[in-house]
Amino acid sequence: MTDLTALQDQVVNVARARQEAQRLSDKKKAMYDEFISQHTDFFADVVVAQTKVSEEEDKLRELTIKAYHETGNKAPAQGVGVRELTKLEYESKKAFEWCLDHKIMLKLDTPAFEKMAKMAPETRPGFVTVYTEVQATIATDLSKVIEPVNP
């Protein structure tokens, strides 16, 4: 038999732990907000610098590919190179039909299968077992079980 006093005491312990975690989280957010407001110019400079890097890298990639097309050299300058990637283009429906015809490369659509198995007991395959699992839940707001703590 479960000791209900121990259970209620544990509810209070969880509520107090959550309350303390929330207090510290609120304090952390306030400190973070203050830090950000004091260093706004610096963070703007970081964003500008990152944008500049991105723009310069895009230009470098473009020039590298241009040099490769002109020379065929996969390393047209020190620090850059070209990688050739093999890509495929096809219609998904035709690929799926091909796989069905060849009985290969098929994958179970788990979410669709489980949805069907839960909804239609009369058509559920015999190898599927449906059971109920018990899971404890804890209310999000436990403030009613404890006295508020001053921050």
pLDDT tens-digit series, residues 12-63: 999 999 999 999 999 999 999 999 999 999 999 999 999 999 999 999 999 9
- Same domain, yes or no: 120 and 74: yes
Does the residue 89 lie in any domain?
Answer: yes
Does the residue 143 lie in any domain?
Answer: no
Residue type (1 letter), 63: L
pLDDT in tens, 56-98: 999 999 999 999 999 999 999 999 999 998 888 999 899 888 8
- Same domain, yes or no: 61 and 29: no
Centre a 10 Å sphere on the Cβ of residue 22 and count the other Cβ atoms it contains: 13
Specify the pLDDT at position 64.
95
Specify the pLDDT at position 105.
72
Specify the pLDDT at position 107.
82
- Same domain, yes or no: 70 and 116: yes
pLDDT in tens, 111-139: 988 888 888 788 888 899 989 888 888 88
Does the residue 110 lie in any domain?
Answer: yes
For the chain, helix, strand, coil in percent to 5 are: 60, 0, 40
Does the residue 60 lie in any domain?
Answer: yes
Domain range for 23 is 7-38
Specify the pLDDT at position 4.
87
- Same domain, yes or no: 62 and 113: yes
Per-residue pLDDT, averaged over 96-109, amounts to 84
Specify the pLDDT at position 142.
86
- Same domain, yes or no: 70 and 98: yes
Per the listing, tokens 């989280």 go with 25
Specify the pLDDT at position 44.
96
- Same domain, yes or no: 97 and 34: no
Does the residue 147 lie in any domain?
Answer: no
> Reduced to 3 states, what is the DSSP secondary structure of residue 51?
helix
Does the residue 145 lie in any domain?
Answer: no
- Same domain, yes or no: 28 and 80: no
Structural domains in the chain (count): 2
- Same domain, yes or no: 89 and 56: yes
Angle between helices 4-38 and 40-71 (to 10 degrees): 80
What DSSP character marks residue 77?
S
- Same domain, yes or no: 58 and 111: yes
| 88-125 residues labelled b (16+ CB within 10 A) or e (exposed) | eeeeeeeeeeeeeeeeeeeeeeeeeeeeebeeeeeeee
- Same domain, yes or no: 91 and 26: no
